[in-house]
Copies of this chain bind each other. A is one copy, B any other.
Amino acid sequence: MNYPNGIKKPQNIDISTKPVDYKNRGMTLEGEINQSNEYYIEIGKAFIYKKPTPIKIVNVDFPSKNKAVIKEAYFSTPSTTDYNGLYKGKYIDFEAKETKSKTAFALTNIHPHQIKHLENIDNNGGIAFIIVRFTTLNETYLITAERFLNYINNNDKKSVPLEYFKTDAYLIKDGYRPRIDYLKVVDILIGGKI
């Protein structure tokens, strides 16, 4: 099991020697986070779940007494983030997004009320962040809501450049189990806040 497993600040990575992780190939960020969360639950480390996709149901059929088939429904805008839960007695809340861009994370990727929600959580004692994967570069960052908001409130409101992630976010390296060990960063955040 000699898979790389750990987190380093961006300045510590040597891209040229980074091994290709064949096991994770083709898996989406969401899939990897879900697997990681299942692993955390399995070992009793954290209880973090993805929320179901919000759907507006318009029409339901009942072909038999105990069976219901949704015949018409629409995807609706989420009011909050995709993931939340409990770790070390703390409330954890985050959104996860992929981008194909090699230079910046466009704010069109995230709903304004999701940003507002992360701000609320950050201001009220929760641990709030966004996990962003630059898929073309195969780099995954955890940026705190505080650092994210700091950028968009003081700079361009359309996108956050990769350079800002390199200086103000945490790089999460690929792992085996869990696939993406973001709680290592959360440990740093909890440590830093105490």
Contacts and interface: CB of A to CB of B under 8 A. Distances in A.
Interface stretch (A2-10, A14-22, A117-125): A117-125
Nearest to A73: B70
Nearest to A124: B86
Q: How many chain copies?
A: 2
Contact of A53 (B55, B92, B121): B55
Contacts of A89: 91, 124-126
A72 B74 contact: no
Contact of A86 (B68, B75, B93): B93
Interface residues on A, range: 35 or more
A147 interface: no
A121 B47 CA distance: 7
- Which one of A41, A80, A117, A124 has the highest number of Cβ atoms from chain B below 10 Å of its Cβ? A124
A81 to B, nearest CB: 10
A25 interface: no
A54 interface: yes
Contacts of A74: 68-70
Contacts of A93: 86
B68 A121 contact: no
A47 B124 contact: yes
